[in-house]
Amino acid sequence: MVLMIVIGAVYFFLGDMNDFVSKSNLNKEIQVKQISSTEMSKARYTRKGSGAYIDWIDVELNQDEINNIVHWINSVPDSDRIALKQIPSNTSISAGIVFKLKTGKEIRIQYDLEKIYITRTDIWTRQMIYTIDQENLRDFFDKQLKGFYFGEDKVNKS
């Protein structure tokens, strides 16, 4: 009986500890000096004959844009970071940025015209996924995606 109580207490403690570690790591600051390379791509929808095609276009980011993106992500308060187990399967990503880090890990930022998803492999030993609400970063993506949908703007503005 005592053994079961001890096992239950350890399980409860480790569960709480795991939740604490997950939440506290969502705000781990990104360091620009740790980024070894950056890649960005965005979708472009076009018509060819009777079909529709999606091309992925590479976008070159300058150092000011990289600095801004890192600052915007780091400035998001904990209350605007929501942990996820995975990105929803019905999500249609329209643009994304990957920061490859000197450690061999990466930070992936994806945008679906509504939400910004962050996937990080630089935290602990497993992948962390969360959404953020950051207006400047959303505006940056929206500007990059201007006219991407068959030459029209499909960006959802409230």
Q: In this model, does residue 13 exceed pLDDT 50?
A: no
The CA distance from 133 to 124, in Å, is: 23
Mean pLDDT value across residues 1-8: 47
What percentage of the chain exceeds 90 in pLDDT?
Answer: 59
Instruction: State the sign of the Cα–Cα–Cα–Cα dihedral 54, 55, 56, 60.
Output: negative
Q: Provide the whole-model pTM.
A: 0.79
Residue 152 is classified by DSSP as B
Instruction: State the sign of the Cα–Cα–Cα–Cα dihedral 131, 132, 133, 135.
Output: negative
| 95-101 and 106-111 strand pairing | antiparallel
The CA distance from 34 to 31, in Å, is: 5
Q: 46 or 107: which carries more pLDDT confidence?
A: 107
Q: What is the pLDDT of residue 21?
A: 41
CB 107 within 8 A of CB 119: yes
Q: What is the pLDDT of residue 19?
A: 44
Q: What is the pLDDT of residue 152?
A: 66
Binned at pLDDT 50, 70 and 90, residue 132 comes out as: very high
CB 120 within 8 A of CB 110: no
- The residue type of 82 is I
| Tens-place pLDDT, residues 109-126 | 999 999 999 999 987 667
* Fold classification of 2-144 (topology level): Dna Ligase; domain 1 (3.30.1490)
Q: What is the pLDDT of residue 154?
A: 61
Q: 155 or 52: which carries more pLDDT confidence?
A: 52
